[in-house]
Structure 1
Amino acid sequence: MQDLFVDGQWVGSTGSGPGRVILNPFDGSELATVTEAGADDVHAAVRAARTAFDSGPWRSTTARHRGELLRAISALLVRDRAEIARIESLDTGKTLTEGGIDVDDVAAVFRYYAGLADTDAGRVVDTGNPDVVSRVVHEPVGVCALITPWNYPLLQLSWKLAPALAAGNTVVIKPSEVTPLSSIHLVRLVDEVGFPAGVVNLVLGAGATTGAALVEHPHVDLISFTGGLATGRAIMAAAAADVKRIALELGGKNPNVVFADTDFDTAVDYALMAAFLHSGQVCSAGSRLIVESSIHDSFVAELARRADAIQLGNGLDETTECGPLVSSEHRAKVEAHIERALADGARLVTGGRRPEDPTLANGYFLRPTIFADCRSDLAIVQDEVFGPVVTVERFDTEDEAIRLANNTSYGLAGAVWTNDASRAQRVAGALRHGTVWINDFHPYVPQAEWGGFGKSGIGRELGPSGLDEYRETKHVYQNTRPAPQRWFAGGENRDG
């Protein structure tokens, strides 16, 4: 097996482990066995990235050429769209349609940063002195560790890799050990494009071993991580030892506020999509419905009726509307959340169980689940479940809706549904979340920043700020007519 990419070569692990078996979450069948990196492999990858950054040809590559390389990756993604979408569906369980949308979005991200790569030459600062030229310029940070999650492996990698390369950094990629297959394919495209050796490196393995070795490596300058809060805290602590730069996206518990004056059917339709897309395994999932009291009962009833009709199945089947959870271990975690919610007094409206269809028995499926009569202090309302589970709270006034929506330690995303334009803007302005949708849910564009408030993380991805995460800012001050001056007592003007 040669699934590690180090210093421009596909290599096996220096260790003697058997590798990791990657399972299809639809039926538990084996998809592939991949190489797992040991500490020596991580060290080799970081050393290659360090050498490529410090003394390789990448340092002299122009911003325009970096943009051309990113544009070439985008073209190859378009070429391989069908194959990559299938890989993503098999590996994560999402539908083939969702996998195809992911590839389209990834190609768009690379195109966006290809266009942005050479558009910022810095700025000139007017010092008020005609003999001084003062410039603020940007330089790459250095060696970047890019650690990505299992739910959107390809998409989340693109959000990190494209701006890191556009800025001129070198990288070591560590995808989730659960879903590494599309990341391997993307690195093969990088290899096909022809980046200098050591610029892009790939190591595979578990977070506790491979990830920890990468985070703690003294020659890594920046760590970009998307994943859970507990791991994010550990990364912050480890990064502090060497004062590494960090960019963290740590999830959310996202409110979806529905006022009575909105279009009822449309709001129900989007509430289903917000909560159950990719079986709720989305950091921005609308897992907290907050519904105005006058429509609460009818809204919950219709939501449940339509949730019960969602077709579970193989992501490769075009009739499937919702796939499995990513692993049996993750399903067990979601089921534990459900059990606690029942014990805490939340009312189970529908779901909360595995499907009865025998054709789904070997997969990691869970029926879409709705809890009503929820209080904001319940664990099911406050904790990120990351599964097909939505809670419903009710409100009577606009101020109460805002208070409930902001009653979370996270702050990634949220939405407001109303036909009152003034109310929409008031509520959106009051929500303490990094993205707020009005009469919509889930869309993003590469040009707009993504990230959260509070425990949702540090820094931003996408947009110009996503590029800035991977750049250092330098001030260059040039005195064009230096003249001797006596700065200290006893100083001598030698020109006199």
Structure 2
Amino acid sequence: MTKDQTAYKMYIDGRFVDGDSGTRDVINPADGKPFASVPEASADQTRQAIAAARKAQRAWGLKSPLERAGVMKRIAAAIRKNHARLAEIVVREQGKPINEAMGEVGGAAEFFDYFAEFARRIQGEILPSDFAGEQIWIQRVPVGVVGAIIPWNYPSALVSRKVAPALIAGDTIVLKPHEDTPLSALELARIFAEAEVPAGVVNIVTGRGETVGEVLCTEPGVDLITMTGSVPTGKRIMANASRNLTPVSLELGGKAPFIVLEDADIDLAVRSAATSRYMNCGQVCICNERTLVHRSVYDRFVEGFVEFSKSLMVGDPMRTTTDIGPKVSLEELEKVEGVVAEAVSGGARMALVGGRPKTPPVEGGYWLTPTVLTGVTADMPIMTREIFGPVVPIMPFDTFEEAVEITNASRYGLSAYLFTNDLGRVMNAVNDVSFGEIYVNRIGPEALQGYHVGFRESGLGGDDGSHGLESYLRKKTVYVNYSGGATVPLMPYGR
């Protein structure tokens, strides 16, 4: 660590502590230089965090939902109070433009406000019994201790997306941020302390996935694992969780199709497709990953898309005029370069040549300018594998049915987009497109009250809304006899 770097500590059992395994530098992707250091937790420290969460859970779960909601509202207010500083942290560690970072931090606060509203909405059921003087209750109770693992692309909002539903449900949580972007989570830990979240209720543990993540997914003291990230990591987590039959909720990769039919508003479709592709430098699981355009409007769409792409400003992410910031890391930059090279060698043509700029906005950063590819076919790797960068393959199709077939021929099934004014084809798409989210004549982000869910290798379980909250609760059935006499049940099924 250099003398001008900021040193952080992780948050376990209400205390800020150093790591037993040393420290790790945090790199600013705009200039490639370290600017902070964070602790590397040991396996034992991760177990300590789980034990702290286990110890705190009963008292937290016994608080009334309104009490828990009050704490959450203090968290939301503190996030808003520190909005600008938290957004700057997002920019410095992750690289997204400041305007997007401000929106992300605003969303982080909204998660706490939204889930606090469930203080009066977590409902059970009362069912009639087979016997007089008896009732059957089905209660929704806390699942217990949550282990949460988040990626690098939304380092602030995804903390809130995991922590907020856990808190209102009465759970405690141990959260591991990504190694490349741990600062937003640690900054939020300061806010949790400021909001007087009881010790052990929220724990932020930084370190390697092979250490911290492995313990979170194999320890019997964890009652739910919720993770957002890549398919290979999700599969590893699921295999590890099977040792203890721990429930998992996994939001994994995406290969979102962006379908433009011949009757669509082409100008709207162009702007929407570009915004969906280039937001956060293309590093979003619901980004437009493959653009499918009806042949009759294909040339017009491509021309408009290329011109719009050229108009975007790739620049210093701290400037409000910047549209596209750097890739998060050199590794991610090189991965996208490999994807483009593979596509071109396979026959794709560059309608817009992108890549590393000759004169980068900031020296040393991980910069890529937009690339638009045509001449692609549905079976090319660039049309089947996740890109996660500012690269857009655009392919023509002839019929709506063909577009749906190409759309569904994917191992992913998270988000899909359809632009048309034909209500009949909208309804056909709703019935036939096998994806967890379908956006019609609009793009994301998803709504708090919706349900962010993927099919196939895009995951299982989901986030947001009342359905996302269900993952953080489990059901308990209680048979209450108040007749004053003994109940002798009949043998079931007449035996």
Counterpart for residue 11 of structure 1: 17
Q: Where does structure 1 lack aligned partners over 5 or more consecutive residues? A: 489-496
- How far residue 240 of structure 1 moved from its aligned partner, in angstroms, is 0.3
Counterpart for residue 450 of structure 1: 452
Using the size of structure 2 for normalisation, the TM-score is 0.95
Counterpart for residue 255 of structure 1: 257
Distance 1:440 1:334 in 2: 26
* Distance 1:450-1:485 versus aligned 2 partners, 3 A rule: closer
Report Cα offsets for 1:48-94 as digits up to 9, x if no partner: 1111124xx32321111111111111111111111111111111111
Counterpart for residue 477 of structure 1: 479
- How far residue 417 of structure 1 moved from its aligned partner, in angstroms, is 0.4
Counterpart for residue 27 of structure 2: 23
Match 2:41 to one of 37, 49, 66: 37
1:435 has 2:441 as partner: no
Counterpart for residue 411 of structure 1: 413
Distance 1:102 1:130 in 2: 54
Distance 1:363 1:396 in 2: 42
* Distance 1:134-1:337 versus aligned 2 partners, 3 A rule: same
- The list of structure 1 runs, each at least 4 consecutive aligned residues, that deviate by more than 4 angstroms after superposition, is 484-488
Q: Secondary structure at the match of 1:320?
A: coil
Distance 1:73 1:116 in 2: 16
Distance 1:161 1:446 in 2: 14
Q: Secondary structure at the match of 2:91?
A: helix
Counterpart for residue 379 of structure 2: 377
1:47 has 2:47 as partner: no
Q: Secondary structure at the match of 2:199?
A: coil
Counterpart for residue 363 of structure 1: 365
- How far residue 318 of structure 1 moved from its aligned partner, in angstroms, is 1.6
Indicate if the aligned counterparts of 1:335 and 1:352 stay in contact, CA closer than 8 A: no
Counterpart for residue 278 of structure 1: 280
- How far residue 361 of structure 1 moved from its aligned partner, in angstroms, is 4.0
Report Cα offsets for 1:24-53 as digits up to 9, x if no partner: 111112221111111121111111111112
Indicate if the aligned counterparts of 2:31 and 2:365 stay in contact, CA closer than 8 A: yes
Match 1:108 to one of 100, 107, 110: 110
Report Cα offsets for 1:218-239 as digits up to 9, x if no partner: 2111111100000000000000
Match 1:98 to one of 95, 100, 125: 100
* Distance 1:265-1:487 versus aligned 2 partners, 3 A rule: closer
Distance 2:489 2:339 in 1: 70
Q: Secondary structure at the match of 1:381?
A: helix
- How far residue 197 of structure 1 moved from its aligned partner, in angstroms, is 1.1
Indicate if the aligned counterparts of 1:151 and 1:282 stay in contact, CA closer than 8 A: yes
Counterpart for residue 157 of structure 2: 155
Match 1:215 to one of 214, 217, 231: 217
Counterpart for residue 301 of structure 2: 299
Moved more, 455-464 or 123-132: 123-132
Q: Secondary structure at the match of 2:258?
A: strand
Counterpart for residue 169 of structure 1: 171
Match 2:127 to one of 125, 128, 131: 125
Indicate if the aligned counterparts of 1:338 and 1:352 stay in contact, CA closer than 8 A: no
- How far residue 129 of structure 1 moved from its aligned partner, in angstroms, is 3.7
* Distance 1:175-1:487 versus aligned 2 partners, 3 A rule: closer
Indicate if the aligned counterparts of 1:428 and 1:438 stay in contact, CA closer than 8 A: no
Q: Where does structure 2 lack aligned partners over 5 or more consecutive residues? A: 1-6, 491-495
Q: Secondary structure at the match of 1:432?
A: coil
Report Cα offsets for 1:380-416 as digits up to 9, x if no partner: 1111111111111211111111111112111110111
Q: Secondary structure at the match of 1:380?
A: helix
Report Cα offsets for 1:173-206 as digits up to 9, x if no partner: 1000101111111111111111211111111012
Q: Secondary structure at the match of 2:425?
A: helix
Distance 2:275 2:217 in 1: 35
Distance 2:84 2:477 in 1: 46
- How far residue 322 of structure 1 moved from its aligned partner, in angstroms, is 0.4
- How far residue 120 of structure 1 moved from its aligned partner, in angstroms, is 2.1
Moved more, 416-425 or 333-342: 416-425
Indicate if the aligned counterparts of 1:160 and 1:224 stay in contact, CA closer than 8 A: yes
Q: Secondary structure at the match of 2:412?
A: coil
Indicate if the aligned counterparts of 2:360 and 2:367 stay in contact, CA closer than 8 A: no
Distance 1:288 1:486 in 2: 63
Counterpart for residue 494 of structure 1: none
* Distance 1:189-1:52 versus aligned 2 partners, 3 A rule: same
* Distance 1:286-1:485 versus aligned 2 partners, 3 A rule: closer
Indicate if the aligned counterparts of 2:453 and 2:459 stay in contact, CA closer than 8 A: yes
Distance 2:434 2:159 in 1: 26
Indicate if the aligned counterparts of 1:313 and 1:321 stay in contact, CA closer than 8 A: yes
